[in-house]
Every structure is written in structure tokens, then in C-alpha cells.
Structure 1
């Protein structure tokens, strides 16, 4: 009973916080409409706007004291800045400065520093020492979190100090922010630093340096934790021939050829690369550079996206076996690359089945395609959403699409960040405290909702925000999932620059199902597992789609 009561209290508190935020934002919007009338804003308008923000601030102070919720402090920060601006415009200097002083105890934010520097609303207090102090504090994080040599542009050879600075920056960012050390319990991160230090010191060129650094992030075994070499070195590390391979039934097959003149055919089996048996080549030359936790993600990256990467100047020699068993060798240039064909995003299949393929959430094109097809989807007997090639992007786009499938609020994954700080370490010793991010069900009322049978197709390339889509769909229990397990990698990464123009990221948010089940490093398994076969690939068949159609036809 006590557990139930605690859950009810938590739900009520969350609802109360949501109501408080909504109330405060409504007040702030009213105040903004009064104060942002430019020259037409009268003294009375400014007084009314100020009173609204003061009321909002009182409400936030009371709500924060009652709940202890840290998100309300951030909402308070967003309220105090415009309140300080209004005080300043009315010549109430001390009140303006006092409001700004409060913000300094909540957040130091470079974007606010830029606003404070240029907004004429603060002209009346701009020369005040207290204003200058807030301005300086707000600008600090940009310098504080920048690596000691991260601004160094590309050059053929970095200094030893710059190379050490880059190693230290990545190592430190991971130690402070990485959220999946428990998934690599055998990894001694301190020893990693000491092992890599002489290696980066010995690297004579920037190319050599990044050849070393590219092996560092994979030790953390996370798909959202990576190091990429500068763009100037892409021809050294990232060049690929105009074809794509895949692992099917333990064999590496050519899945796609982008150049008709290439002496390679879809369905050819790859036996060796540069005279090294293909699986041995993958273990030696590819796997050490793969940042992945889930086995299916590692397999996909190893045998599809990274297998044939290398120097553009070095052609790759492939030992191939055709479908008829005949073997041959072909030397293929690496500098072309391939462009995966874009199939129609929406089409009607037999028996009134609507099919839509959404390959990314990097923009809202998938959402627009879904909405454009909605009249036909609403009339369809059933719906298939193909997410097998969706590498992610903006997760809100997925929520908007899912909102066309239900009238209910949508519940997503639960997110956590590390909350360990210097004070906790000083008072309690070494520890890691997990803080759950506040999250409310997604609500988007739709005039028209599709309520027929739905199937979602997934695979190891279903990644990041698209994996969030599959997780949310599974929580909704809206319909079938078919294919293979998702990539097992999502989260929010901290992105930063490295010396010489390289870039890196470290995953700083961990996600689980609401009941605590893990899927990062594991993947979300489909309800019906279907894999491609050698015969199916060579025949041009889509076994997953065929099974989805068969399942939906029986419903």
C-alpha cells in the first residue's frame, strides 16, 4: 500500500509541476504581448506586464519550495530575465539588478550573455558593476567547457601539447558525463588514458594522431560515443567503393551496386579482402574502430557501413564468389562511394495495405509524407511503417507520427542523467547519483486518427530517435513489430571539437522502458523475428515485408 501511495503522490506532484509551468508560461506570454509593443507600450502596459511576471515569480518560488523540483528553477531563470528587463526599462535599477543577481545562482548561459550584451532594454543598468558581473558569469561556460586546444584548426602536424590536450579532453568528458560505464565493467578508464598517452605523443602527423584517437571511443562500446577525424582526412579513412555489403546467414554478400560498370553483382559473396579472409579482415581491421554496444549494431556497422572503408588512394582487392559458384578477384577503387536509392515513401500494396518507409528524422520530410498520405491511410485496411533504414534525428517527429495512431496520451522511454557533483563527492565520497529527467506523456489531439491494424518493421539500422519511436510504439501496444532487433543505441550526446578539426561526442543520457527494462546495448526485439536469407537477397525478395503482409492479411 505504501508503494502505491508513493506512486500516486509522485503522479500528483508531476501533474502539479506541469500545471505550474503552464500557468507561468501563460502569464509570461501575456506580459510579453504588453511589453513588446515597442514605442506603443505605455507606462501602464509596462506596469501591468511587470505585475504579471512578478505574480509568475511568486508562483514559481512557492511551487519550487513545495516540490523541490529543479526544473522549476530553470523556469524561474526564464522568468527573471524579462522581469529584469522590464525593471530596467522603468528605471527601477536596483530591482533589475537584484533580479539578475538571482539568475546567476541558477544558470550561467552564453546565449543569455549575448542577449544581455545587445538588448537595449538593459541600457539603463549596462554600466553597473553588478550587471557586468552577471554578463561575465553568463559568458564563462563557453570558455570553461572548451578544450584547451579544441580551437586549433587543421594542420598536417599537431604539437605534442595539442595532441595530449585532445586525448585529455575526450577522456575527461567521458569520465564526467558518460552514462554507460556499467556496460563496460572490465574497462579501467584511468589505465586507458595512461596507455594512450605515449601513443598520441608518438604520432608525428595529424593523420597518425587520428589513427590512434579513432580507436579510443570504441572502448566504451556505445553507438552514441564517437570520435571522427577532421574532414581534411576523410580521404584517408572514410573512402568506400560504390557498393554495399551485408551479412546474411554468416556470409558477406553484395547487397547493392551503385555503378553498372562495376564488375560486381548483387548477390556475389565476398570471400576475402586484400587476400585476407573476410571475417578475419573484419576482426583485425574493422571491429576495433566500431563504436557499438549491441551485437546486431556491431555486426551491421562491421559488415555494412565500415567493411570496405579505407584510403581513397588504395583500391581494394575483393575475392568474390558468384551465385553459380564461380570465384574471381576484382580490384575496385575506393573513391566513389555509393548513394542508397530512395524508394517511394508511400505506396498502396495489395489487399488495401498502406505502406510508408521513413528513412530518417533529421527533418520533417517523413512527417510531411505521412500527413500527405493520411487520407489514403485512413481508408486502408492496414498500415505498415518501415523503419528499417531510419538512423534517427529529432525524436519529436516520431511522436507526431505516432499521435495519428491513437487518441491516448503517448508514454515514451524514461531518461536519466548523472547528477553527481563536486559537493556530493566532497560530502559523501565517490558516488554516481542518477537524476530522472522530468517527462510528461505526449499529447497531440488529432481530428483524424488511424485505428486499423498497424505493423512496424525494424532492424539494426533502426537507431537513435527511430529506436525511440519503436520503444514508444511498443509501450503503446498499438500493433505488431517485425524484422530484427533495433540497433540498441539512443540518448543525448555532448558534441565537442578536438584539436585539428576533429569532432567527438559522449552519450550523456541513458534511457529505459518505463518499467526499467534496458534496451540500450541490447536493442528492442520484434514480436516476430524475420531475417533475410541468401536465396531471398539473390532473388530480390523482402522477407520482412512479405511476412508483415501475411500477418496483416489474417487480421
Structure 2
């Protein structure tokens, strides 16, 4: 899920507004930040590139007024630790130091800059210090020391000594370092240990230490590491082998399958030659002579992470079911709809063509339908906006995110902004804030920083009609955020099957030999504290897929959604305000 980041800004404000003459009556974080920003904007207007010294001195005084305000007892007591206020204080300190430097008051500028190290260490501050107004300070030892301090986060968190390039055999030190990096970052930052309460993370490290040391090659090392992240049971936490091993570990066959009614059913064949032998609706009963459920459980599932068993099963029995060595074809036992069984041998030659997307179309009764199959780029969002003229004239709208595995939530918000004239509330965002002082005093504690967001993107074109969203087990991440926000908006009905149950922000790590990993470091909750992670978002109206429907070409979820939009009373009531789940 995308979150807009609050950046440290030094650019001259584009909106120069005026601060109130007196501080706001309330010292809430938002009001305090806005008051301080107003003073900073006035000061930046005074201290422009061609400003005379007297105006720059007045700007210095305004910066100081804002700094004194944010340092006051009332603001500190009510807004302590608020990131927006900290960033604004950084902006004020940097801006005041720049004004002092423009006046030639180098010692005053250095004194202000010295306070930055007690607020934050960040490469963004180092970049700000490269501004030409600080040129006269570049040879000052205190200035050089501050620059070095601001580089420290990159030096600490970037791991070039561990993230070594591809070699067919890694050293013992590299193998241990890669394991240790992932283990330590998860220990400190992973946000869903409560979902695996029986997992002894220290014992996992000891167990895997012996395994990785014993791995003779890089391929063997990654075969071990690929089973590590799934122990955390999170779809945003995983390990990926180097691309040099892709043809050995990940080469796919051109088949897409799904677990439907406890059967593995072929959904799509991406190679025309294979499609002449294997058909949509065929049941997979074995792989390489092993019963398919046993094969999936033993060969695939140990490398699959997910927050719900339904999603882990779905991942196990889809494309990944046939992944393996490109040099070894896969032998597939099949059962036709009439019960006849046969065996087909298929090369691991790649996915081939992808299943056709739903696109946009108009259904009977003036119902518009559009499939948003991904938020990885802006393609589907732009397709939605291109279809807006027809959508605006429709009686109802169905948005299908059943195949949407996520991406950038900003695209999801952009679509939702065409369905409402009100601000769009996000899920609340929570990150770990481990209290190391309590731990040092014998009271280990993990507490949480929690933030609320909303998006205000008013659109000229807003659809006011009835809306239904179609979901399924493959609806994940930003697509689930889309569904959750749709629910919070109380904008319509959700139809289909329960979603995959995972969202969050992954932290990326580079591993030895060219591999990489992700660890989920953010958990999202509804405003009331409930969440769908680990459970999924249940539909208001269930419409499970069946083998018979798939073989008959029937889409029950789409049929039910269209029926409800045409006749709201068909489900026994209003569809505009379903409950949160």
C-alpha cells in the first residue's frame, strides 16, 4: 500500500499564505504544524534570492518565533513525537541557518545547524546542506561533521559488504551474513509476530544457521532460504533467489490453475500447442506421478508465504505449482470433465499468453463493468478514467478486483475519488516503536506509532450511482486497501469471495549472491482497531466459484452483483451502506 511520504523540504514555498498574528487556540499537532508553516512561509517570502539584509533579518526573527512556538511547553506536551511537527522543526532550523549564512553570520548559522543532529539524521538533510547559500561553511569542521552525521543512516542500513554479487558458491561468511541480516531486520521491524505466537524466532535462527552453513552451493543456499520467510506467514514478507537461478527454481509451465471446491482446475493455457492437449476446466490429479495435493503440500507450500490459509493454498495451486527446472518437463496427470484420465508432458517454457482481462463493457440494464486487474502501474486506472463518460451515464457500476494482487495504492485512491465528493479515509497505519529504555530496565516492550490519513482529491467527474466491487482470494494488498476504503466510504456492496488478507509496507533487503528479501514493517487497521490482515475482507454477498460454473462459462459473482444493482431490494435492503467487517 502506498503512503505519501512527508519529505524534508527546503524549496521556496509555492503558496506564501500568512500565519495568524497569534498562535492557534488549540495546540493540537495539526494546528501547531500549520501555524509554524505559516510563519515559515512569510519568512521565506522575506528571505528570497534578492532580499535586502533587513528583510533577511526579519525572516530570521520569524523563524525564531516559529521555533520558540514549537518548543513551547503546550505544543511539546500535546504533540510530542509527531512526525509532521518534527519535520517542520527541521525545515525551520535549516531555513534559519540558511538566512544566517546569507547575512554572513557563519557562527550563528553553525549554531543552528548543530541542533539538527538532535532532531534527525537523514540523507535528505545532507542534500539540503549542499545548497549554495551554505557554500561559505563548507570548510568549517562543524559543518563537515554534520554532513558526515547525516550520511550515517545510509552507511548503517546499506549493506554492500553483505549484498555481494552472484557467485555459484558463496563463502560461509556470506551465507551467515545473509541469514543474520534477514533474521535481525525481522526481529526488529516485522509487525505480525502476533500472528505466529508459537514461533520461536531465536530457535529459527539457530536451526537455519546450521542449514545455510551446510549448503554447498548458492543454489542450495537459496533453496534453504526460500523456506525461511514463509515461517512468518505474511504475503509481504519473502525471499527471492538471484536471477541466475530463475531458470532452475522458477521456470513456469504455460498453465494457470486454481483450487476450486478442493480440486485443482485448469483456468488458462498460455501456449497454443499445449492448449490443443490441455483445456480450461480439466482437473489436475498428479504431477510427476505424485498426487497433486501431496505434491503441492510437500514441494510448493514450504516456500509460500501468506496471512491466511486460503491465500497460501491459492498461491500453492496456481502458476507456482508447475515451477521448477527449465531443463526438466513436468508430467501432469489430468481428468477431463467426463472423468477420462490421461497424462501430458509439458515443457517449462514460460507463462505464454496471460489470461484475458475483463476490460470495460456495458451490461444489460445500464450496468457498467470494469476490471482493475492491477495497481502496479497506472494502466488500469487510466482505463477507468477513459471509460468515465460511459460510467457516468450508467445506472450502476461493477468494479472487479478479483485478480488484482496490489501495487501502488495511489492508483486505487484515484479511482475511488471518482465515486465520492467527500475525503477518502485510509486505514490507520501502525509501525513498531520498540521502547529500548524499558528493555534496558528489564521490561521488554513493543509499543506502536499510529497515524491516520485521508485523501482530498476532489474530482469534477463523480459517479453517484450504485456501485458493487467484486473480490476473491487473489484480491490482495493495495486491492484490499481499495476494498477497505470502499467499505469505510459506505459506498456500495462487496460481492464474491473473501480476499487474501494481507496488506502493508515491505522493507527491501539485498542478500548475498544477488538475491533479495522483503519484510512487512507496517500494519493497517480500521479506525475502530479491527483489521482484515490474517482474515481477509468477507463479501456482503457471497458468490463462490464452482467447478461446474467455470466449465459452463458462468460468472456467478458478476451475475449477482448486476442483479443487485438493477434491483437493490433483491438482497433485502439498501446497498449503499454495508457494515464493516
What TM-score do the two structures reach when normalised by structure 2? Answer: 0.88
- Residue 273 of structure 1 pairs with residue 287 of structure 2: yes
Deviations 1:125-147 (A, max 9, x none): 11112111111111111121234
Preserved contact between residue 148 and residue 165 of structure 1 (Cα < 8 Å): no
SS in 2 for 1:244: strand
Q: Partner of 1:111 in structure 2? A: 124
Instruction: State the match for 1:486 in structure 2.
Output: 499
| Aligned-pair CA distance for 1:342 | 5.0
Does 2:67 correspond to 1:57? yes
1:353 maps to which of 367, 370, 375: 367
Offset at residue 364 of structure 1 (A): 2.7
CA distance in 2, matches of 1:383, 1:44: 61
What are the superposed Cα offsets for residues 194-250 of structure 1, whole Å, 9 maximum, x if unpaired?
101111001111111101001000000011111111111111111101110111111
Change in Cα spacing, 1:249 to 1:493, as seen in structure 2 (3 Å) is same
Q: Could you tell me which residue of structure 2 aligns to residue 172 of structure 1?
A: 184
Q: Provide the C-alpha distance between the structure 2 equivalents of 1:371 and 1:251, rounded to a whole number of angstroms.
A: 38
1:341 to partner: Cα distance:
3.9
Q: Any idea what the Cα deviations from partners look like across 1:469-503, whole Å, max 9, x if unmatched?
A: 11111122111001111111111111111111111
RMSD: 2.2
Q: Which residue of 2 aligns with 1:3?
A: none
Note if 1:209 corresponds to 2:221: yes
Q: Which moved more, 1:457-466 or 1:410-419?
A: 410-419
User: Judging changes above 3 Å, is the alpha-carbon distance between structure 1 residues 305 and 34 closer, same or farther for their aligned structure 2 residues?
Assistant: farther
Equivalent residue number for residue 230 of structure 2: 218
Distance 1:98 1:549, change over 3 A: same
Answering whether residue 326 of structure 2 is matched by residue 312 of structure 1, we say yes
Distance 1:518 1:160 in 2: 42
CA distance in 1, matches of 2:25, 2:485: 23
Distance of 2:115 and 2:155 partners within structure 1: 22
Q: 1:398 aligns with which of 412, 424, 428?
A: 412
Q: Does the 8 A contact of 1:464 with 1:490 survive in 2?
A: yes
Instruction: Give the length in aligned residue pairs.
Output: 540
User: Contact conserved, 1:295 with 1:522, CA < 8 A, in 2?
Assistant: no
**Residues 147, 166 of structure 1: 8 Å contact kept:** no
Query: Which of 278, 282, 288 does residue 264 from structure 1 map onto?
Result: 278
**Partner of 2:426 in structure 1?**
412
1:101 and 1:342 map into 2 onto residues whose CA distance is 59
Q: Tell me: CA distance 1:54–1:219, structure 2 relative to 1, closer, same or farther (3 Å).
A: same
Asked if 1:464 corresponds to 2:477, the answer is yes
Contact 1:149 1:166 in 2 (8 A): no
**Residue 8 of structure 1: aligned partner:** none
Change (3 A) 1:51 1:368: farther
Give 5+ residue unaligned stretches, structure 1: 1-11
Would you say 1:517 and 2:524 are equivalent positions?
A: no
3-state SS of paired residue (2:417): helix
Question: How many angstroms does 1:103 deviate by?
Answer: 1.4
Residue 68 of structure 1, CA deviation: 1.7
2:442 and 2:391 map into 1 onto residues whose CA distance is: 57
What does residue 205 of structure 2 align with? 193
**Structure 1 residues 322-401: aligned runs within 5 Å:** 322-343=336-357, 345-401=359-415
* 1:444 and 2:457 aligned: yes
- Do the aligned residues in 2 keep the contact of 1:89 with 1:124 (CA within 8 Å)? no
